[in-house]
Amino acid sequence: MDINEVHLICFSPTRTSKQVGEAIVRGTGLTNIITTDLTLHAAEVDIAEDTLTIVAVPVYGGKVAPLAMERLQGVRTSGSPVVLVVVYGNRAYEKALVELDAFASAKGFKVVAGATFVGEHSYSTEQHPVAAGRPDANDLQYAEEFGAKLRTKINAATDMEHLYPVDVNRIQRPRQPFLPLFKFLRRVIKLRKSGVPLPRVPEVDAELCTHCGICAAHCPSGAIVKGDECNTIAEKCIKCCACVKGCPFKARTYDTPFAVLLSDCFGRQKEARIIL
């Protein structure tokens, strides 16, 4: 069957999900490309049945980032084949892919492939790295190869009826040694029982901040107001750390004890997985 257009829909505060989605698009070889980036605002999008859609979103706490799910509400279709991609910070994506599958199916999409990729965790720092630098060159090459396999699957189908859906529940899970996971869970319980307050927003070094406005421009939830960059609205902050990673003067930091736990317990890099 002929599909000549690919539509990438992404939510990607620190660009990990977008990089993976773009690599998959490149792999399809399709040149008619539409990109809808929902990171900074929602959009009303109607997708034709003969368009391949790729949805790439990050995982926060084992679920699709809530703001991403909210922004996806304006996407509609009447049968477009869709590829669902979740990007997680090397701990676990838990039910995120299944959650995204239920949402996409309810919106009228036909789920023909799924993937789980690793991206640098929002809490990752130089002192406590968590999947630092990912997606790396190998991840992006694998994503392109996945895109090529998608194109082969589509070309092999005689029509939409024969472009078979997949059950994302059957995707192979990455290897997870029990001991690091047990260690992490035990330390999380201890941390929560200790009553140690967790930071609600990133801290700002006023001496380093130049009020350039980059953090405000990159904040997906509007938690930072241009001209008042030394403050963050706690009720709006989603802890994506786009402001931290995007600050050219390193004026912003998010010092959470979870960064230490994640770095200590999940140093072993997980692999991307696909199903199609």
Q: pLDDT digit of tens for each residue in the chain (276 aa)? A: 788 899 999 999 999 999 999 999 999 999 999 999 999 999 999 999 899 999 999 999 999 999 999 999 999 998 899 999 999 999 999 999 999 999 999 999 999 999 999 999 999 999 999 999 999 999 999 999 999 999 999 999 988 888 999 999 999 999 888 898 999 999 999 988 888 788 999 999 999 999 999 999 999 999 999 999 999 999 999 999 999 999 999 999 999 999 999 999 999 999 999 999
Residue 217's alpha-carbon distances to 35, 42, 116, 224, 236, in angstroms, are 19, 15, 28, 8, 15
Distance between CA atoms of residues 240 and 6, nearest Å? 27
- Residue whose C-alpha is closest to residue 5's, from 71, 42, 46, 49: 49
Topology of domain 203-255 in CATH is Alpha-Beta Plaits (3.30.70)
- The domain spans of the chain are 5-176+269-275, 203-255
63: region left, alpha or beta (phi > 0 left; psi from -120 to 50 alpha): beta
Q: Is 76 helix (H, G, I), strand (E, B) or coil?
A: strand
What's the DSSP call for residue 226?
T
Topology of domain 5-176+269-275 in CATH is Rossmann fold (3.40.50)
Give residue 36's identity as a one-letter amino acid code.
Answer: T
**pTM value surpassing 0.75:** yes
